[in-house]
Amino acid sequence: RRTGEALRAFHTAIRSSPGNTRNQAMKEQAQGTMLKVLTSFKSSEIEQAVNSLDRNGVDLLMKYIYKGFEKPTENSSAILLQWHEKALAVGGLGCIVRVLTARKTV
Amino acid sequence: MAYHSFLLEPISCHAWNKDRTQIALCPNNHEVHIYRKDGAKWSKVHELKEHNGQVTGIDWAPESNRLVTCGTDRNAYVWTLKGNVWKPTLVILRINRAARCVKWSPKENKFAVGSGSRLISICYFEQENDWWVCKHIKKPIRSTVLSLDWHPNNVLLAAGSCDFKCRIFSAYIKEVEERPSPTPWGSKMPFGELMFESSSSCGWVHSICFSASGSRVAWVSHDSTLCLADAGKKMAVASLCTETLPLLAVTFITENSLVAAGHDCCPMLFTYDESQGALTFGGKLDVPKQSSQRGLTARERFQNLDKKASSDTANATLDTLHKNSISQISVLKGGKDKCSQFCTTGMDGGMSIWDVKSLESALKDLKIK
């Protein structure tokens, strides 16, 4: 049941990501929420979560992963690296390229 | 698949003559070298030295057998073969930045040059003064024009730019041609008219290509995307976010199939489904050789662990034919509607010829529509 909750929170965070805003406060809040959701996953559940996303979702997830790398907290990098590995397997290098070229950041 | 290594340096650009017996290429310097096929070998037959900067674009007009070259020296030259010597004619482009790409129009009475001056020079021959003149297409281009392709009607021109957009302009020159009839891209085509502009992608548009009929245009951008605009569907744009590194070159091989290649060093097939308005990845076209897997000694394993933090046996060399990025693709046989053979050149100084039928039989799941 806990898995189901984490997955639901994950999809909600992805869906409600502020798309086209310059509002820095809004962005930071979304980043914080996403990081909380990502770190709440057990390692074994990550792959399933990534596979449940569509192409745009994987691109968005990768953007949040790199954002998370930018501001590391005590244990965040370790779990983010695991998310990165799974997201890379699905999105390929193109997904990372789009993080670098994106003009609208998360 | 025939691969020939011409140089140890990148091939900046290339162009083929009409019967595909000769290839003109720039060996990453200020010159153009022409090689002729001699059985299984290639012999260098001409060296064209006139540019003062790297040659960035070459195009070989099949019917009139003229070459046009452009370079970072802000010049373009039209070359005509007189006897056994190629004679250059300077074309004043009136640009103050490097020229980046050049293409003859289908009727070979005009050519277009894209440059860092954020404009396109449309050049045509003025009979009375016996020299080439040019007109500029400027608005609304905001950055370097990296690639050009002509529509079969000799008037419309597609341009890919570093301002992240693909555009189609009219390059109608009343001095050399009749008014064009309406096309699915529009009916009024005065010079410089913008017929289509894509919404911004997030990457420089490296390469752009019209389909054989001209009713579709496809382009690849630096954000690892491939896009296609279909005039038959009110210019609706289909786009695909690829899993690959950015693609640098794209061409149609049928009305629905595209081959693109780039920093992953291997050509790939993409298919456009008109009914769904969607682009899909159709597979890599490079069939890797069966590399012999030999076991690692304990010492090698330890060295790997020390250097790469992993002891796996994966090869450090590329399995693909090209050992560096592919920067250009050209259609050799069959045209863009029934291509049976195409050519790639790249930064590894190599040129490869790909046979579509062989690919279809070698790669079982390949579906070229």
Burial tier of B352 (Cβ tally within 10 Å: 0-12, 13-18, 19+): buried
State the Cα torsion B245-B223-B251-B75 to the nearest 10°: -110
> Can you list the domains of chain B with their CATH numbers?
8-197 (2.130.10.10), 199-286+317-368 (2.130.10.10)
CA–CA gap between residue A10 and residue A17 (Å, rounded): 11
For residues B141-152, give the mean pLDDT. 98
Q: Which CATH superfamily is domain A1-101 in?
A: Actin-related protein 2/3 complex subunit 5 (1.25.40.190)
Residues on chain B touching A94 (C-beta within 8 angstroms): 224, 241-246
Exposed (0-12), middle (13-18) or buried (19+): which is B82, by Cβ within 10 Å? exposed
Length of chain A, please?
106
Please tell me the distance in Å from B179's CA to the nearest CA on chain A: 41
Tens-place pLDDT, residues B169-220: 999 999 999 999 999 999 999 999 999 999 978 899 999 999 999 999 999 9
pLDDT band with cut points at 50, 70 and 90 for residue A90: very high
| Chain B, nearest residue to A97 by Cα | B223
Say if A102 is an interface residue toward chain B (CB within 8 Å).
yes
Give me the residue spans of the domains in chain A. Answer: 1-101
What integer pLDDT is reported at residue B289 of this predicted model?
60
pLDDT at B180: 96
Any A CB within 8 A of B224 CB: yes
Cβ proximity of B330 and B342 under 8 Å? yes
Contact A98 B202 (CB under 8 A): yes
Judge whether residue A29 has pLDDT over 70. Answer: yes
Answer whether residue B293 shows pLDDT above 60.
no
Q: pLDDT per residue over B4-29, tens digit each?
A: 999 999 999 999 999 999 999 999 99
* Residue with the larger pLDDT of the pair A95 and B300: A95
Say whether pLDDT at B168 is over 80: yes
A20 touches chain B (CB under 8 A): no
- Torsion B318-B319-B324-B326 (CA) sign: negative
Share of residues in chain A with pLDDT > 70 (%): 97
- Asked if A59 and A91 count as a contact pair (C-beta separation under 8 A), the reply is yes
Q: Residue B328 pLDDT > 80, yes or no?
A: yes
Please check the confidence at residue A100 and state whether its pLDDT lies above 80: yes
Q: Report yes or no: A81 and A65 within 8 Å, Cβ to Cβ.
A: no
Size of interface A-B (CB pairs under 8 A): 40
Closest residue, chain B, to A102 (C-alpha): B202
- The minimum CA-CA distance between B213 and chain A, rounded to whole Å, is 30
The conformation of residue B38, written as its DSSP 8-state character, comes to: E
Type of residue at A16: S
pLDDT tens across B222-277, in order? Answer: 999 999 999 999 999 999 999 999 999 999 999 999 999 999 999 999 999 999 99
CB neighbours of residue B333 within 10 Å: 14
Section B318-324 average pLDDT: 91
d(CA B207, CA B162): 11
- Strand partners for B136: B121
Q: Residue B202: its chain A contacts at CB < 8 A?
A: 98, 101-103
| Whole-angstrom distance, CA of residue B257 vs CA of residue B368 | 6
CB contact set of B93 (below 8 Å; sequence gap of 6+): B70, B74, B75, B76, B99, B113, B115, B121, B123, B134
Structure tokens at B364: 């079982």
User: What does B121-156 look like in DSSP terms, one character per residue?
Assistant: EEEEEETTTTEEEEEEE-TT--S-EEEEEE-TTSSE
The token duo for B148 is 């050009």
pLDDT, tens digit, for every residue of B32-69?
Answer: 999 999 998 999 999 999 999 999 999 999 999 999 99
pLDDT tens-digit profile of B340-356? Answer: 999 999 999 999 999 99
Give the distance from CA A20 to its chain's centroid: 17
- Kindly give the pairing relationship between strand B145-150 and strand B131-137: unpaired
CB B262 within 8 A of CB B249: yes
Of B176, B177, B184, B245, which Cα lies nearest the Cα of B210? B184
Quote the pLDDT of residue B312.
Answer: 59
pLDDT of B166 reads 98
Q: Does the distance separating the beta carbons of B241 and A55 come in below 8 Å?
A: yes
Q: From B193, B18, B162, select the one nearest B98 (Cα to Cα).
A: B162
Name the closest residue on chain A to residue B200, using Cα atoms: A103
Mean pLDDT of chain B: 93
Distance in Å, alpha carbon of A103 to nearest chain B alpha carbon: 6
Going by C-alpha positions, the residue among B125, B117, B181 that lies closest to residue B155 is B181
pLDDT band (50, 70, 90) for residue B300: confident
What does residue B265 show for φ and ψ, rounded to 5 degrees? 65, 15
User: What band does A19 get if pLDDT is binned at 50, 70 and 90?
Assistant: confident
- In angstroms, the CA B168 to CA B158 distance is 4
- Answer yes or no: do A94 and B202 touch at CB < 8 A: no
Q: Are B63 and B56 in contact (CB under 8 A)?
A: no
Residue A31 has pLDDT above 70, yes or no: yes
Tokens 């279809």 appear where? Answer: B360
ipTM for the predicted complex: 0.90
Chain B residue whose CA is closest to A103: B202
